[in-house]
Amino acid sequence: MDQSSSPSPSEESLKLELDDLQKQLNKKLRFEASVRSIHSLLRDRYTSSSPSLRKQFYIVVSRVATVLKTRYTATGFWVAGLSLFEEAERLVSDASEKRHLKSCVAQAKEQLSEVDNQPTESSQGYLFEGHLTVDREPPQPQWLVQQNLMSAFASIVAGESSNGPPSENILGETANLMQELINGFDGIIPEILEDGGPPRAPPASKEVVEKLPVIVFSEELLKKLGAEVECCICKENLVIGDKMQELPCKHTFHPPCLKPWLDEHNSCPICRHELPTDDQKYESWKENEKEAEEERKGAENAVRGGEYMYV
């Protein structure tokens, strides 16, 4: 038997360590430390590793990128990720792997650039009914902004008609106001158009989400669902011992994967079964739609049965 083809004991232990670190990435409190450990192992062991171990390094680094894009967005996490991606890009020789890692580096830099370029918000208060508040002044509603722009525009036009030919400054100010009005209408028109359609579904109710049952993925479930079963959000294969959150439709997901989804949606990622929300307006609309649908079905059935046929 050729002993050179089998991995050495040190490589076996390193593979196990990488497997464990990949699992730790799913725990937010362990994420940053796990990325640093992966970076250290990559730097010290990659060049002397076998092709199969190098492939595993690449898979683990790619998993870091996936977790950053789908779960954790804190600046510190992205800083750690960027350092890891740059090191990995420097070390790998496979062209497709290098391309993917370059895109990971670019995305991390873009994310950190967006954070750096965010305008700093003033912490000064504002006068309200004679008192200086602690909080910043809230932004004006869009309709009021547009109304103020229209008033300013009308004043300029009235001034132009009474004072003869307009100056360059007046023309420039008029053009700027017109552009602001157009930009404002661009934001208002989609809202007006949306008023006629169904409202956008709000996030699932926090209380309902907190009460969702958590099950442990067992050997029995593995036999029932098959070895290739995966969490459809992170696309990782489920292993015995994984904690899974179960929706009323019986579809299950990793809790850290499901939470960001339900923070923005109120339905199952697979079958779109809806959960209750905390938005009473949306719930009322949904109830009215349900009643209207039942009435429509009743009317259709009545027509088919001839109940509304007159002689």
The CA-CA-CA angle for residues 270, 237, 272, to 5°, reads: 5
- The CA distances from residue 57 to 10, 67, 68, 271, in Å, are 15, 16, 17, 35
Residues of the chain short of pLDDT 50, as ranges, are 1-5, 122-123, 126-132, 134, 311
Q: What is the pLDDT of residues 14-29, one digit of tens each?
A: 999 999 999 998 888 8
CATH dotted code for 199-300: 3.30.40.10
Task: Please state whether the predicted TM-score (pTM) of the whole model is above 0.85.
Answer: no
What is the SS3 assignment for 127? Answer: strand
Residue with tokens 């404002």: 184
Phi-psi region at 90: left, alpha or beta (left = phi > 0; alpha = psi -120 to 50): alpha
Q: What is the pLDDT of residues 170-193, one digit of tens each?
A: 556 666 666 666 665 555 555 555
User: Closest Cα partner for 26 from 17, 37, 14, 34?
Assistant: 34
Residue 293: predicted pLDDT: 78
Q: Beta strands 214-216 and 131-132: pairing type?
A: unpaired
Residue 36: predicted pLDDT: 93
Domain extents in the chain:
13-113, 141-163+176-186, 199-300
Alpha-carbon span 142 to 160, nearest angstrom:
27
Residue 2: predicted pLDDT: 46
Name the token pair of 194.
């949306």
Q: What is the DSSP string of 187-219?
A: HHHHHHHHHTSPPPP-PBPHHHHHTS-EEE--H
Count CB-CB contacts under 10 A for residue 96.
Answer: 9
User: Closest Cα partner for 248 from 237, 233, 262?
Assistant: 262
- The CA distances from residue 308 to 10, 291, 298, in Å, are 82, 21, 12
Name the token pair of 233.
């959000």
Q: What is the pLDDT of residues 188-244, one digit of tens each?
A: 555 555 555 566 788 888 888 889 999 898 888 888 888 788 888 888 888 888 888
Q: Beta strands 252-253 and 243-246: pairing type?
A: antiparallel
Residue 109: predicted pLDDT: 92
Q: For the sheet containing 252-253, what is the strand order?
A: 214-216, 243-246, 252-253
What is the SS3 assignment for 68? Answer: helix
